Amino acid sequence: MAFPSDLEIARGAALKPIEDIASEMGLPNHLLEPYGRDVMKVNLDAIEELAEAPKAKYVVVSAITPTPLGEGKTTTTVGLGQGFKHIGKRATVAIRQPSMGPTFGIKGGAAGGGYSQVVPMELLNLHLTGDMHAVTAAHNLLAAIIDNHLFQGNERGLDPHNITWRRVLDVNDRALRNIVVGLGGRGDGVPRQTGFDITAASEVMAALALTTSLEDLRARLGRIVVGYGKDGSPVTASELNAAGSMAVLLREAIKPNLLQTLENTPVLVHAGPFGNIATGNSSVVADRIGVHAGDFLITEAGFGADMGAERFFNIKCRNSALSPDAAVVVATVRALKAHSGKYRIVAGKPLPPELLQENPDDVAAGAANLRKQVENIRLHGVSPVVAVNAFPDDFASEHDAIRQIAAELGARVAVCTNFAEGGRGAAELAEAVAEAVEEPTNFRFLYPDEASLREKIETVATKVYGAGNVQYSPQAAQQLDTYERAGFGRLPVCIAKTHLSISSDPKLKGAPTGWTLPVREVRASVGAGFVYPICGDMRTMPGLGTSPAAFRIDLDEHGEVVGLS
Amino acid sequence: MAFPSDLEIARGAALKPIEDIASEMGLPNHLLEPYGRDVMKVNLDAIEELAEAPKAKYVVVSAITPTPLGEGKTTTTVGLGQGFKHIGKRATVAIRQPSMGPTFGIKGGAAGGGYSQVVPMELLNLHLTGDMHAVTAAHNLLAAIIDNHLFQGNERGLDPHNITWRRVLDVNDRALRNIVVGLGGRGDGVPRQTGFDITAASEVMAALALTTSLEDLRARLGRIVVGYGKDGSPVTASELNAAGSMAVLLREAIKPNLLQTLENTPVLVHAGPFGNIATGNSSVVADRIGVHAGDFLITEAGFGADMGAERFFNIKCRNSALSPDAAVVVATVRALKAHSGKYRIVAGKPLPPELLQENPDDVAAGAANLRKQVENIRLHGVSPVVAVNAFPDDFASEHDAIRQIAAELGARVAVCTNFAEGGRGAAELAEAVAEAVEEPTNFRFLYPDEASLREKIETVATKVYGAGNVQYSPQAAQQLDTYERAGFGRLPVCIAKTHLSISSDPKLKGAPTGWTLPVREVRASVGAGFVYPICGDMRTMPGLGTSPAAFRIDLDEHGEVVGLS
């Protein structure tokens, strides 16, 4: 019998009433707002009201540098959350809201997989409670106000050629990447070139993920820099009178969403900032609630430990004032084999057949990446745990090879079969994590606020990525000087680079050293609260393929969704 | 003491638990889905499950031709719903969802007014349960699939210069009216000119308002014509494999939203199609539920009786198979004075002071418009009731003048003070409506399905608008021929013209006759199910003014919304 599809498994789930899930977290009824039958929003008053509850152990789930297929980090995160029940502990899971555009593109859904999923997966993948749409609306209202300002006489003296605020939509639509607006007649606005990004790339989304309260969000929105005046001075959303309305549009979106796993583990789903030009982490407010709602809070950070985890430590924790107790590094046999440099994995294509043959030596040959990512966790004073996300085609000898690498690193390790078996298959990992959090931690940021932007970039590049040095384009150098002068120098940095290599070159596997990080351009998300140097081509609006998931997603004769993976 | 603002009144409302409101309508719990604490979605199974309940009297609220300020039709609709309780009857109100773009533009909110409001008004005006956003998402997914089709080789042979499907956003953004997409490099799509409309103008919205079930909606979406092939043949959403995903995106949006008035009258809020290029009526499914949920269902139709009510009768009722029992025609002293032709009222400017002086003769001089709109109701075999929406500045002699006109027409009439007094102030109107529905009705469409598109246009133009004849541009004539050949000739017509005159010239007041209706162009909303001739400039994407409501809307120190009217 074939293994059932994610959707088949999800449809067979025995959901608990979501109010019971909330109650087990210690969330009283007055803090909850139902959205449909299986989802609730949690009022931010929960942060204060739960503050006296015991603090959970706070665990971030990261990974080695993934292949283009992804290494099942969400599946492991969800499975680990489920696994704690099997060792008698209460855990909460925190993840990002999936972006809807890619759901209709290549992916067809992102809610974990197999017997480790967040449910109802149709809701998670489609609209949920509308937070993404609220971000879109707030972002585009600001854009409309900017173009209206130009049209109404441009009193502030905005330089039309230096407006950095674009528009956003949660759809994969390459035709919107570069557009000219304001065409038509005299009454139809001022013509200029601009474009759309996907909503996950919105600075509003990044601000939502990092904010600590509605008041703080209002202030962050006001600090958003939308462009520059003809005199070179930064122009903010606040100067254009847009921040109040934007905050009003986000009044519900700031509340985290409560769902559950297939095994009724509570899951807080909130915010979905991009993992390259933004933090790739779920929200601070969800974690601040979840960290007082059980024995463990398991939160996921996007891409490899050099990306999501580094930002988790240095940006998200700086905003949340929370200290992690352990970090999981997810590894797979196929990704380690790929880091040997012998295989080429392409998204949407079958795996090379050689890669599926038993070959523990190739696993060992790819160990450098795992070693470096474990080191990246330790750089921040946190205990690493290696999680092997087991695939049906893996061989025991290959898992042993990973155990061997972990042993050499002195790191705990567990093989996880939770995709096929649910939480039971992650009980070993839960045990390992429960041990790791008991070790003394010494969590630290990699750099102080006071360091210059260049120092911050160079610290991350050399210590985390293994770069030999950093090279700035003349434009980037000038931008860094401008930002330092404008007072943005105290912000942390979020280095936008490929997630497919620990370096800035997606072709380099393993853990290369001595290379040069090229900073082409530097942008500032002043409202969200970070500066992001751009190293490579960052695509912020995906396109659809020749046969997108949208062609298969449909309703069946009962009105149920089909085709979502 | 000044009369309190709408927001102040709304904040002081004593809301009943929304489940109690539903229960009074006879809606059992399993048909309800909570969205937050004060709103519920109603499952469409309610149509079948309530079918055995007694049928309510079905009353449409329309108006004389309004001034640019609007004549308080929603306020009267809400007040009438409230008024029935004061005469011992149970009523349900059905209205459109307000478009969010204008909320941040000139309007600042649209939920009725004074003591006749739908609450919570912040939810009604902002996002509600996300239906508008779902329409936006479905519409723009189709747009992305079209441009992707061009990019991937254009197998169907779409003519890039004859793609009629644009994009939509629920924001007032004039810069998006005319844009060029697909700029950038070879990988960024195929350059072409297009634009954005506001979401209320989306054909998906019109289809949502006219559909009868999820299955029917899936079929309507498939029939949407997105453009024409190089061979001139219409290209549908179905041919591009988009309809299934679009329907999936609308799976929740198809369920009507239940709110309440300040006096706890149930209100079904659902769909918000534009009143010029679309029907301007709330959804068929909401009415099919509400029509078995009490003694009266009060449903609102946009603009004057020549616009919203004509479409209600000939398009909405054709889709719903429901027969109205009476029609209210809302009139105001100021609008009747304006129809005398002596005053000029401009949106956003104070009223001319002369218009505020006691002058029953000018009211009588504007009577032609009221007479014609009452006749337009009777043309469809329905009993009219004139409702005078009283303003504080009105004089009794002016109200008497309107009573006199109604008496001459043999129509029931009532003066409504529900803005200031709530339902009590509409009890007289409720009594008049309760009498009118007991008269024998003989509801009829103005034209049969089999009439040609030209016959349909000419019937509405001459009988309803009072035109002498219709003139087609060569383009319009050709389009009509094309549509007849393509089999769209059986669809009803939705004539897009100004709402500020019963004619197609906004400057003509009263009830002009003998004029010529110029049809410039004809478009087909084949998916929604109507053909719309365009007579005049129809703006489908508003802009922001010099001082939009967005500048004033904000959060107060308690996180509550301020500035929404």
Q: What is the mean pLDDT of chain B?
A: 96
Query: Which residues, other chains included, contact B322 with Cβ-Cβ below 8 Å and sequence gap of 6+?
Result: B58, B287, B288, B291
Chain A closest-CA separation from residue B14 CA (Å): 18
Closest CA to A413 of A510, A529, A330, A289: A330
Name the token pair of B414: 């009532």
Q: Does B214 touch chain A (CB under 8 A)?
A: yes
Backbone angles phi, psi at A33, to 5 degrees: -130, 115
SS3 category, B11:
helix
Closest CA to B418 of B80, B84, B85, B86: B80
Closest CA to B132 of B103, B100, B164: B100
Query: Cα–Cα distance between B328 and B81 in angstroms, integer?
Result: 12
Query: Which residues of B are less than 8 Å from A183 in CB distance?
Result: 177-180, 193
Residue A296 has pLDDT above 60, yes or no: yes
pLDDT, residue B347, reads: 79
Element (H, E) at B247: helix B243-249
pLDDT, residue B86, reads: 98
Query: Cα–Cα distance between B526 and B236 in angstroms, integer?
Result: 9
Name the token pair of A176: 């919107």
Please give the domain boundaries of chain A with CATH numbers for all domains: 6-123+259-436 (3.40.50.300), 131-249 (3.30.1510.10), 457-534 (3.10.410.10)
pLDDT band at B379 (very low <50, low <70, confident <90, very high): very high
Query: Which residues of A are less than 8 Å from B188 in CB distance?
Result: 174-175, 177-178
Q: Are B86 and B124 in contact (CB under 8 A)?
A: no
Alpha helix locations (H) across A56-164?
Answer: 73-86, 100-103, 121-125, 131-151
Query: Which residues of B are less than 8 Å from A542 in CB distance?
Result: none
Q: Are strands A296-300 and A57-63 parallel, antiparallel or unpaired?
A: parallel
pLDDT, residue A2, reads: 77
Each residue of A173-206: pLDDT tens digit? 999 999 999 999 999 999 999 999 999 999 999 9
Q: Distance from first CA to last CA of chain A, Å, rounded?
A: 18
Each residue of A87-130: pLDDT tens digit? 999 999 999 999 999 999 986 567 899 999 999 999 999 999 99
Closest CA to A172 of A261, A100, A79, A279: A100
Query: Cα–Cα distance between B274 and A201 in angstroms, integer?
Result: 31
Q: Are A384 and A327 in contact (CB under 8 A)?
A: yes
With an 8 Å Cβ cutoff, are A148 and B543 in contact?
Answer: yes
With an 8 Å Cβ cutoff, are B37 and A33 in contact?
Answer: yes
Query: Cα–Cα distance between A505 and A512 in angstroms, integer?
Result: 10
Q: Does A561 touch chain B (CB under 8 A)?
A: yes
With an 8 Å Cβ cutoff, are B188 and A174 in contact?
Answer: yes
Residue A461 has pLDDT above 90, yes or no: yes
SS3 category, A387:
strand
Residue B356 has pLDDT above 60, yes or no: yes
Query: Cα–Cα distance between A547 and B354 in angstroms, integer?
Result: 66
Closest CA to A139 of B102, B509, B382, B170: B170
Mean pLDDT confidence for A295-312: 97
pLDDT, residue A300, reads: 96
How far is Cα of residue B134 from the mean position of the Cα atoms in its chain? 18
Quote the Cα angle for A148-A152-A157, to 5°.
Answer: 90
CB half-sphere exposure, B453, CA atoms < 13 A: 28
Cα torsion for A99, A103, A107, A109, to the nearest 10°? 90
Element (H, E) at B100: helix B100-103
Q: Does A106 touch chain B (CB under 8 A)?
A: no
Mean pLDDT confidence for B24-34: 96
Mean pLDDT confidence for B87-97: 98
Q: Are B58 and B323 in contact (CB under 8 A)?
A: yes
Name the token pair of B460: 């509405």
Hey, which residues 263-292 in chain B have their CB within 8 Å of chain A?
A: none
SS3 category, A410:
coil
* Sign of the alpha-carbon torsion through A104, A110, A115, A117: negative
Q: What is the residue type of A218? A: R
pLDDT, residue B108, reads: 59
Element (H, E) at A23: helix A18-24
Listing DSSP states for B153-193 in one string gives: T-TT-EEEEEE---EEESS--GGGSSEEES-SSGGG---EE
Q: Are B254 and B286 in contact (CB under 8 A)?
A: no
Q: Are B499 and B537 in contact (CB under 8 A)?
A: no
Chain A closest-CA separation from residue B147 CA (Å): 7
Q: Are A147 and B175 in contact (CB under 8 A)?
A: yes
Mean pLDDT confidence for A396-415: 97
Q: Distance from first CA to last CA of chain B, Å, rounded?
A: 19
pLDDT band at B441 (very low <50, low <70, confident <90, very high): confident
For residue A307, give the DSSP letter: I
Q: How far is CA A536 from CA A198, A509, B124, in A?
A: 18, 16, 44
Chain A closest-CA separation from residue B458 CA (Å): 32
Residue B414 has pLDDT above 90, yes or no: yes
Q: What is the residue type of A79? A: G
Q: What is the residue type of B174? A: R
Hey, which residues 398-457 in chain B have their CB within 8 Å of chain A?
A: none
Mean pLDDT confidence for B182-211: 97
Mean pLDDT confidence for B534-541: 92
Residue B188 has pLDDT above 60, yes or no: yes
| Residue B128: closest C-alpha in chain A | A130
Q: Are B6 and B561 in contact (CB under 8 A)?
A: no
pLDDT band at B15 (very low <50, low <70, confident <90, very high): very high
Each residue of B281-313: pLDDT tens digit? 999 999 999 999 999 999 999 999 999 999 999
Q: What is the residue type of A328? A: V
Each residue of A252-280: pLDDT tens digit? 999 999 999 999 999 999 999 999 899 99
pLDDT, residue B223, reads: 98
Residue in A41, A171, A244 nearest the CB of B555: A244
pLDDT, residue A7, reads: 85
pLDDT, residue A565, reads: 76
pLDDT, residue A1, reads: 57
Chain B closest-CA separation from residue A457 CA (Å): 30
Q: What is the residue type of B191? A: P
Residue in A178, A188, A559 nearest the CB of B184: A178
pTM (2 d.p.): 0.97
pLDDT, residue B1, reads: 56
Residue A237, burial from CB neighbour count under 10 angstroms (0-12, 13-18, 19+): buried
Binding-site annotation: residue ranges of A for ATP: 67-74
Q: What is the residue type of B339? A: H
Q: What is the mean pLDDT of chain A?
A: 96
Helix axes B203-210, B214-223, angle to 10 degrees: 150
pLDDT band at A540 (very low <50, low <70, confident <90, very high): very high
Backbone angles phi, psi at B102, to 5 degrees: -65, -25
Quote the Cα angle for B46-B48-B54, to 5°.
Answer: 90
pLDDT, residue A348, reads: 75
Mean pLDDT confidence for B444-463: 98
Residue in A134, A141, A143 nearest the CB of B127: A134
Element (H, E) at B518: strand B516-519
Listing DSSP states for B429-480 in one string gives: HHHHHHHHTTS------SS-TTS-HHHHHHHIIIIII--SEEEE-HHHHHHH
Hey, which residues 25-84 in chain B have their CB within 8 Å of chain A?
A: 33-37, 41
pLDDT, residue B109, reads: 66
Percentage with pLDDT > 90 across chain A: 92
A–B CB contacts, 8 A cutoff, strictly below: 219
Hey, which residues 143-202 in chain B have their CB within 8 Å of chain A?
A: 143-145, 147-148, 151-152, 169-184, 187-190, 193
Each residue of B128-169: pLDDT tens digit? 999 999 999 999 999 999 999 999 999 999 999 999 999 999
Hey, which residues 519-558 in chain B have their CB within 8 Å of chain A?
A: 543-544, 546, 548, 550-555
pLDDT, residue A109, reads: 66
Q: How far is CA B418 from CA B279, B365, B551, in A?
A: 27, 26, 30
